[in-house]
Amino acid sequence: MRRLLSVSGVNLGACDAQSPGSIHAQADMCGCCGAVGLPVLALTMRNMVRDDLQSLVDEGFRFCSTPECQVVYFDNGSRRYFSKADLKVRVGIKETEHPVPVCYCLGVTEADILRAIVENGCCNTLEDVKHYTGARTGRECRLKNPSGRCCEAHVRSVIERGLAVRRAGKGHVRTGQTHE
């Protein structure tokens, strides 16, 4: 194992993946956890990365969606890694403490969706959640979501969790636990 540092010097911890410089490392794999990263636009990153780190943003970065991994954006070729501490926003799929952002366009959190499903009992489907909370109705995902993508998968995972809790007859749920 080896240790990686973020662009701002944050220790990203011990990483299990192959060294980015090794012949076995792939450009699309996170240099820390080894998961395949999703391409992310420089436009997205410019809206997420702290102002003092803007000069390090360019094309070719990937988004690591592994919840437990400290890396958010990476470029193995340049050996640049951005952590949660390097961003201006919270990264919902990597958060475990409330508030956990889900829909960045409209500011909907995990707690908002779970409350609608479990406590208010008003929502059973994605359409219900969209109507009641506004989640998944925005159109600025490339600018506001750290992944640069639509929040639908994250919204669906929160809905599934809320419905399971409601079926179990529990009146409330702990937030900060959705990592799908």
- Mean pLDDT (the chain) is 89
Per residue in 41-59, pLDDT tens? Answer: 999 999 999 999 999 999 9
Question: According to the model, what pLDDT value does residue 2 have?
Answer: 63
Per residue in 134-177, pLDDT tens? Answer: 999 999 999 999 999 999 999 999 999 999 999 998 766 655 54
> Quick one: pLDDT band at residue 1, thresholds 50, 70, 90?
low
Instruction: Check if the beta carbon of residue 34 is closer than 8 Å to that of residue 17.
Output: yes
Per residue in 107-123, pLDDT tens? Answer: 999 999 999 999 999 89
Domains and CATH numbers, the chain: 2-86 (2.20.25.270), 95-167 (1.10.10.1100)
| Residue 55 neighbours by CB under 8 Å, 6+ apart | none
Burial class (CB in 10 A: 0-12, 13-18, 19+), 51: exposed
Buried b (16+ CB within 10 A) or exposed e, 28-39: ebbbbbbbebee
Instruction: Check if the beta carbon of residue 71 is closer than 8 Å to that of residue 12.
Output: yes
